Amino acid sequence: MKVAFATQDLTRIDAHFGWARHLVFYDVSPEGYRYLKLRDFGPLREDGDSHKLIDKMRALKGCDLVFVSAVGPAAHAQLVRQRIHAMEQFAGKSIAEALAELQWILRSRPQPWLRRRLQAEQRRHLR
């Protein structure tokens, strides 16, 4: 499954979704993970920059999860419409730690919604 991390420092999940300078993308499975790409959005203002969400939502196309420190209501609604789940419970952790924990969750007992996403991803790869 494709996941993204909102980050300012490129090592931790330390960014509010709308204000994130970077999104780092990985492909994650129960067996491992693979770096895909980095998307740099440059410095953004906290408020008053309405285009920042448009660019981020485009960048997230095809993602299942986005790890953030927080997400505002407008962005959350857009994520829900694109069927992207915002993961706030890893806020402040390193990206490496979150990747390892997600991989462990996928190997053990993922919650039903996450298991369905993983199964859909596996079916796509079989085609």
Looking at residue 59, which CATH number applies to its domain? 3.30.420.130
| Alpha carbons 71 and 88: distance in angstroms, whole number | 8
Instruction: Give me the pLDDT at residue 117, please.
Output: 83
| Alpha carbons 44 and 48: distance in angstroms, whole number | 10
pTM score, whole prediction: 0.90
Instruction: Give me the pLDDT at residue 47, please.
Output: 59
Structurally, the chain folds into a number of domains equal to 1
Which range of residues forms the domain containing residue 108?
2-126
Instruction: Give me the pLDDT at residue 96, please.
Output: 97
> What is the pLDDT tens value at each position of the chain, 127 positions in all?
999 999 999 999 999 998 899 999 999 989 999 999 999 998 766 555 557 788 999 999 999 999 999 999 989 999 999 999 999 999 999 999 999 999 999 999 888 888 888 888 777 777 7
Q: What is the pLDDT of residues 16-37, one digit of tens each?
A: 998 899 999 999 989 999 999 9
